[in-house]
Amino acid sequence: MSDESHPRASLEPCTCSALRRATRAVTTAYDAALRPSGLRVTQFAILRLLDRLGPTPVTRLAAEAALERTTMGRNLDPLERRGLVRIAAGAVDARERVVVLTEAGRDAIAAAIPYWRDAQARINARVAPGAVAALADALISAS
């Protein structure tokens, strides 16, 4: 008999899937808003982070963004190709690949910010900005 479990895979909604879904929607919205700037929200985030940190080796950059190291490395590719960042071998430690924000990169950030504010305002109007941050904080430490 259908004991207790599930007639058709237990209907309780999956928290992860819900979160992924929300993220897809939000990302699409930001990407659409940033469209004119030629940046994706992921790229915008990396550039901004770099702007905040200054020249930074890949591994540290990845750690700051809570991104897998190799993912960060690959995400930098398009940015480097477009001259928004420059990647040089570390002076003190030859293993390190130091990522540097170029002038073009700084310009790209500046140009994108108005569009970003747009999206940010639209989304923050729908949810308490703090709620997402709190949620994120609570979830990040979960790993």
Q: Which residues bind its own copies (CB under 8 A)?
A: 5-6, 8-30, 41-42, 44-45, 47-48, 51-52, 65-67, 109-110, 113, 116, 119-120, 122-124, 126-127, 129, 131-133, 135-136, 138-143
Residue with tokens 């479990």: 5
**3-state helix, strand and coil shares in percent for the chain, rounded to the nearest 5:** 65, 10, 30
| Region 84-103 residues binding DNA, contact defined as CB under 7 A | 87, 90, 92-98
Which are the contacts of 15, defined by CB distance < 8 A and separation ≥ 6?
none
Q: What are phi and psi of 83, to 5 degrees?
A: 75, 15
- Which residue stretch of 4-12, 19-27, 113-121, 129-137 sits at the interface with DNA (rule: CB under 7 A)? 19-27
Q: Is 54 in the site for DNA (CB under 7 A)?
A: no
Return the residue of 6, 52, 74, 122 that touches DNA, per CB under 7 A: 74
- Return the H-helix or E-strand segment holding 85: strand 85-89
| Least CB distance to DNA at residue 134 (A) | 20
- In the three-class reduction of DSSP (H, G, I as helix; E, B as strand; rest coil), residue 47 is classed as helix
Could you give the CA distance from residue 69 to residue 65 in angstroms, rounded to a whole number? Answer: 10
Contact residues for DNA, defined by CB under 7 A? 20, 24, 27-28, 31-32, 40, 42-43, 57-60, 67-71, 73-75, 77-78, 81, 87, 90, 92-98
